[in-house]
Chain A
Amino acid sequence: MELTKNITLGVYLPGSTSIHRLDPRTKILAAAILIILLLFVRTYEPYLLFSLFLFAVVLLSRIPVGYALCGLKPMLPVLAIMWVFQLFLFKTEDTAVLFSWWIFEATEAGLHMGNLISLRVLFLFTTTTLLTLTTSVVSLTDGLESLLKPLAKVGLPTQELVMTLVIALRFVLILAEELEKIVKAQMARGVAFDRGNFLQKTKKLFPVFLPLFIGAFKRAEELIVAMEARSYTGGRGRTKMKTLRFGRVDLYSTLATLAFSALLVFTILRSGPLY
């Protein structure tokens, strides 16, 4: 029973590689461009290119490959459900029927759609995880705030929004820890989370959510009080210890990302949508 093991989203892995030292804005922009491009990918070839790029980032940042991938494990059940839904429900007019079961028909179009959507979610998640693994909470905040400055000018509370986002990210791990404690306490009193099939296991999780959210709210409230006690009153008037510097390495990295994006766009256009 170890739930926090496979949580990588929102975890920061300290390091001093060139990827770690990049200006957070470079990393955030790169991640944003890649994620937007992902939405347009409708075939398999671009994913091959994409995985090469992500693999290069993993190598450069010296994150163990297994660790970078293990964060995907908790998502697999959800993806599997999504995949099955697409397989049976997505149809085009001229698609071949692979097999049918009761009133449902699995089609070739559904199979590809299921694959592509699953791939999209996996790559989206991996890209975001790589960003948080190599960027500390504060530099993430600073980077986002700096990038959103134009929006602040028109009166949006960007600093508060960013702080909320960052704290939400921090709570991924906290929620997993809380969940582990509650599940263990219930197991200790005879709830068999570790027995039964997938459906039975999921059903047993429901009574866990109430204490989980009460616990999380309590902790969030304590964090807010602690921040207030340290004179936090929102973003106004805050200064920074670390200033952002967009250096030469950042320029090269951005150019590399843009070049890769162009290649990706070209591949996307050339291969055309599968459906």
Chain B
Amino acid sequence: MLQGLKWIGVILDKLIETIDLSYSYRSGEGEAVRALSRVNMAVYRGEILAITGRNGSGKSTLARHFNALLTPKEGRVLVDGLSTADKANTALIRRKVGMVFQNPDNQLVSSVVEEDVAFGPENLGLPREEIINRVDEALNTMKLETVRHENPHHLSSGQRQQIAIAGVLAMKPECIVLDEPTAHLDPRGRREVLQSALKLNREEGITVVLLTHFMNEVIYCDRMIVMDRGEVRAAGAPQEVFMQEELIREMGLDFPVATRIASALRSRGYPLPPSIMQAEELIEGICRLK
């Protein structure tokens, strides 16, 4: 939702900020493993941010700091100005930042769809009518009304992931963090979840953080962050990041398909802009060559 000038307008409004955040844990053999080292980054209000990097690069550990599932021992994490290190803030922070995990099977609590969506609002201690309204609204947004009385266990994994998103949506967070929500889905389910994430951002105005390995998801985001060995190695608009060819290769990432085709055509003398990422942009560029 942030393009050009509008982006500059909100640039200072940081919803989540990490300052010199470091995190270590003990491995099975008892040695300390540094999962994050001096991470300085921010999530801006209203944006959709992709965080990418190979498995074990620290993406997930970073994301778990955003809603105080992990709290910093070194450095600080501020959510809407509140420090996550202060236990008194935890409840409020978790209201502001919701989280959806990789495997839908391990995050659904109930055996009925609508009851699962109600779980979060119930934890917030909301009055009954408000819970019902929110559940209806969330089911409606995620197009799940028809299965509201079903057992999630008998639905597809794509639908189960949509239920998990609805469950977070019903808590009306300002930001939703999606931790590789599409890793266990087939390509169709993956596209549907991506579309939901984009819809939440563009239509509901929710800030979205999407952790992903798929470049065809990254290209629809406003900004991207590349993590490697616990450090932020690049940050910026995807167009800019993908232009750093050396870095992308070193990080073990892919280039978007359209970018690869465009660069091959460019090397054959066709003047296509280097910012091409989406298929539509490439087609437009090719049509303009005439």
Direct contact of A and B (CB under 8 A): yes
* In the assembled complex, A225 has its CB within 8 A of some CB on chain B: yes
A52 within 8 A of B: no
* B121: Cβ under 8 A from any A Cβ: yes
What's the least CB distance linking B153 to chain A, in Å? 8
A239–B119 CB distance below 8 A: no
Known: A14-B112, A222-B107. Is A231-B91 also a contact (CB below 8 A)?
yes
How many A-B Cβ pairs are below 8 Å?
Answer: 102
The stretch of A40-48, A78-86, A104-112, A240-248 in contact with B is A240-248
Q: How far is the CA of A272 from the CA of B265 in the complex (A)?
A: 93
B111 CB contacts on chain A under 8 angstroms? 12, 136-138, 170
A237 to chain B: which residues have CB within 8 Å? 123, 125
CB distance B69 to A228 under 8 Å?
yes
> In the complex where A219-B106, A226-B107 touch, is A14 in contact with B151 (Cβ < 8 A)?
yes
Inter-chain contact B99/A229, CB cutoff 8 Å = yes
- Contact across chains for B123 and A231 when beta carbons are under 8 A apart: yes
Rounded to whole Å, the gap between the CB of B63 and the closest CB of chain A is 10
Question: Which residues of A lie under 8 Å from residue B84 when comparing CB positions?
Answer: none
With contacts A137-B115, A138-B115, A230-B98 known, is A240 near B122, CB below 8 A? yes
Residues of B within 8 Å of A75, CB to CB, are: none
Tell me, rounded to whole Å, the shortest Cβ–Cβ distance linking B252 to chain A.
25
B129 to chain A, nearest CB (A): 10
* B interface bracket (residues with beta carbon within 8 Å of A): 35 or more
**Are B106 and A239 within 8 A (Cβ)?**
no
* Interface residues contributed by chain A, number (CB under 8 Å): 29
Identify which of residues 76-94 in chain A touch chain B, using a CB-to-CB cut-off of 8 Å: none
The verdict on A223 contacting chain B, using a C-beta distance below 8 Å, is yes
Partner among B67, B118, B150 whose Cβ is within 8 Å of the Cβ of A241? B118
A239 near B122 with CB under 8 A, answer yes
> Contact partner of A231 among B101, B109, B150, B171, CB < 8 A?
B171
Chain A residues with CB below 8 A from B132, complex form:
241
Contacts of A222-275 to chain B: CB distance below 8 A: 222-223, 225-233, 237-243
**CB–CB B149/A238 < 8 A:** no
Q: Which residues of A contact B167 (CB under 8 A)?
A: 230
Q: CB within 8 Å of B: which of A203-226?
A: 219, 222-223, 225-226
Contact B112 A138 (CB under 8 A): yes
Q: How far is the CA of A69 from the CA of B128 in the complex (A)?
A: 38
| Bound Cα distance from A137 to B119, whole angstroms | 12
B207 to chain A, nearest CB (A): 16
Complex CA gap A161/B114 in Å reads 23
Contact A240 B128 (CB under 8 A): yes
Measured CB to CB, the closest approach of chain A to B101, in angstroms, equals 6
User: With an 8 A cutoff between CB atoms, is B110 at the interface?
Assistant: yes
CA separation between A226 and B99, bound complex, in Å? 8
The residues of A that contact B30 with a CB separation of less than 8 Å are none
Answer whether residue B53 sits at the interface, using C-beta atoms and an 8 A cutoff. no
CB of A230 within 8 A of CB of B119, answer yes
Contact check, A230 vs B112: say whether CB atoms are below 8 A apart. no
B131 at the binding interface (Cβ < 8 Å):
yes
CA gap between A237 and B121 in the complex, in Å: 11
Q: How far is the CA of A226 from the CA of B165 in the complex (A)?
A: 12
Beyond known contacts A222-B106, A225-B69: 14 more, CB 8 A cutoff: A137-B112, A138-B115, A138-B119, A139-B115, A219-B105, A222-B103, A223-B106, A230-B167, A238-B125, A239-B122, A240-B122, A240-B128, A241-B122, A241-B135
29 contacts between A and B (CB under 8 A): A12-B112, A136-B111, A136-B112, A137-B109, A137-B115, A219-B106, A222-B101, A225-B101, A226-B99, A227-B119, A229-B94, A229-B99, A230-B94, A230-B98, A230-B119, A230-B120, A230-B168, A231-B95, A231-B171, A237-B123, A238-B122, A238-B123, A238-B125, A239-B122, A239-B128, A240-B122, A240-B131, A241-B132, A241-B135
Top 4 nearest A-B pairs (CB, nearest first) are: A226-B107, A222-B106, A241-B118, A138-B115
